[in-house]
Amino acid sequence: MNEETIVAVFDTAAHAAAAVADLESAGVPSSAITQHAKGGMMAGSTTTTAEPVRETGFWASLFGGEPEHGHDTAVYDRSLESGSTVVTVHASEEHLTRISDILERHNPIDIDERGSSYETTETRTTTASTGGVMPTAGTMAGAATTTGAATGTDNTIQLSEETLAVGKRAINRGTTRVRRYVVETPVEESVNLREESVSIERRPVTEVRPVTNPDFTDKVIEVTETAEEAVVSKTARIKEEIVIRKEATERTETVRDTVRREDVEITKDAGVERSASTASGSTTSASTTSGTMPGTANDPYKPKI
């Protein structure tokens, strides 16, 4: 019989301990239950020392490789680092549904939802750390600065997108039970019975009849009486057969949900034209140059003597 491993992650050790207690009460052997926490592993109700999680990650250390389905196994490592407890149960296929129901009663985390929250947190952290640009030490107050590729700094905004992964799990849809029991039904049959009886009659003889060869000896005549009685016998025969057969059918179900993605909106503001004031109070555009060369008599920036 094939055995599988069920993995559940609990945010608190109390929830994990309660789930383990219910599993043991339901008859699951303690040797089949393991609790994994940061810095240690607990098998059933007994605490044992375990080596720390290897660089290959919790999932690979437990199963020897990455899973075939596509969820992020780093969620298990991050959950352990944040103080969560992972409970693993080894069980045969026929007990998977019952064990899953027991674990679900103690509020395990949703792996996909937790993975999405980790991705959202990483995106916000990256945006906050790279979104602002500090002024350089060589920039004077009021001086014109140039932004863009000329500064040599790239700002990155990560855009996340969710993908829909649909899996399967076995659930209990009910149990069909066939029980054989005995029913007694009264029956009756008619039968003719024969019975014999002996009757004795003594008749006097009035006429004279001479006896020839008289024999004065003892004589005994025996007559057997018989009677019939009903004899009951029963014979069993097969009347009907009940065939118990489990058939599996496959159907295609369309799962509809929504996935989220992040997009970016780019807007560009027009630059503001700056102006500089001369010593005499007249205004000239910063982007316009005078027709005379510096150092001539008309130069407004020439020192006065």
| Strand ranges of the sheet holding 46-48, from the earlier edge strand across to the other edge | 3-10, 85-92, 33-37, 40-43, 46-48
User: Which residue numbers in the chain have pLDDT < 50?
Assistant: 45-55, 70, 125-151, 275-305
Parse the chain into domains and list their residue ranges: 3-128
Long-range contacts of 163-170, Cβ-Cβ distance < 8 Å, separation of 24 or more: 163/259, 164/255, 164/257, 164/259, 165/69, 165/70, 165/71, 165/112, 166/255, 167/69, 169/100, 170/93, 170/96, 170/97
pLDDT tens digits along 210-219: 888 888 889 8
pLDDT value for 263: 92
pTM for this predicted structure: 0.36
Q: What is the pLDDT of residue 240?
A: 93
Question: 182-200 pLDDT, tens per residue?
Answer: 999 999 999 999 999 999 9
pLDDT at 120: 63
Q: What is the pLDDT of residue 90?
A: 86
As a whole number of angstroms, the distance between CA 43 and CA 47 comes to 6
Strands (E), the chain: 3-10, 33-37, 40-43, 46-48, 85-92, 275-277, 283-285
Fold of 3-128: Alpha-Beta Plaits (3.30.70)
pLDDT at 152: 59
Tell me what pLDDT residue 60 has.
63
| C-alpha Rg value of the chain to the nearest Å | 52
